[in-house]
Chains A and B, each alone.
Chain A
Amino acid sequence: DGGITQSPKYLFRKEGQNVTLSCEQNLNHDAMYWYRQDPGQGLRLIYYSQIVNDFQKGDIAEGYSVSREKKESFPLTVTSAQKNPTAFYLCASSIRGALETQYFGPGTRLLVL
């Protein structure tokens, strides 16, 4: 059963705390992406990775970090430097290429205590 999984579904962060959101895919996709969605807004790109051990900053990378040690996994860490982390975080993946389509995981909702 192929797909993209994200965990946890809900995550609560205390002030000054780093938290890590998990994203795993078994679609054999090369590229993976992290987006943030705020109420009433479109998706904004945080980081993306085209291949293992390589990733690029998106439009709003400040306060976030990622790693891509395995093709299947692309975890996102929300650091204490991200002052407004409350949002819906979406992971996506795609086959690398000019016309590939991105497919999304179920998302993680991050809330600040």
Chain B
Amino acid sequence: QKEVEQNSGPLSVPEGAIASLNCTYSDRGSQSFFWYRQYSGKSPELIMFIYSNGDKEDGRFTAQLNKASQYVSLLIRDSQPSDSATYLCAVRSSNDYKLSFGAGTTVTVRA
């Protein structure tokens, strides 16, 4: 079982719609969770992080964490063509500082 799993996509959404991305993880003791956006040929850039159960909102992005079910999700509201990218979920393990990354979900926002 992979440590961090994401649907690879592609996830295609119309402009203005909500894109919903999911990520599950295997280490029950994980404490911090990150979403990165990666444009083709570029390096990952941090969108947001979440540590506590519940929702965290930042602009059009909302991260949701459910530690009991071991999943974290990212919602992108009012999707724009500029949101077309691969979204990487990363989880910090419970016993060291390393991040484990999922393979990423590719999102395409069609105009």
Interface residues of A (CB under 8 A from B): 31, 35, 40-45, 48, 50, 58, 90, 94, 96, 98-107
Contacts and interface: CB of A to CB of B under 8 A. Distances in A.
Given A43-B44, A104-B45, A99 B8 contact: no
Given A96-B97, A106-B43, 17 more contacts: A35-B101, A40-B8, A42-B102, A43-B88, A43-B90, A43-B101, A48-B97, A50-B97, A90-B44, A98-B32, A99-B32, A99-B51, A101-B46, A102-B34, A102-B90, A104-B43, A107-B43
Most buried by A among B4, B34, B43, B99: B43
A107 B42 CA distance: 7
A104 B90 CA distance: 13
Nearest to A97: B97
A104 B97 contact: no
A99 B46 contact: no
B49 interface: yes
B43 A101 contact: no
A42 B103 contact: yes
A101 B44 CA distance: 12
A108 to B, nearest CB: 10
A57 to B, nearest CB: 11
Contacts of A45: 98-99
A90 B43 contact: yes
19 contacts: A40-B8, A41-B103, A42-B4, A42-B88, A42-B102, A42-B104, A43-B44, A48-B98, A58-B98, A96-B97, A101-B34, A101-B46, A102-B90, A104-B36, A104-B43, A104-B44, A105-B43, A106-B43, A107-B42
A44 B101 CA distance: 7
Nearest to B103: A42
Contacts of A94: 97
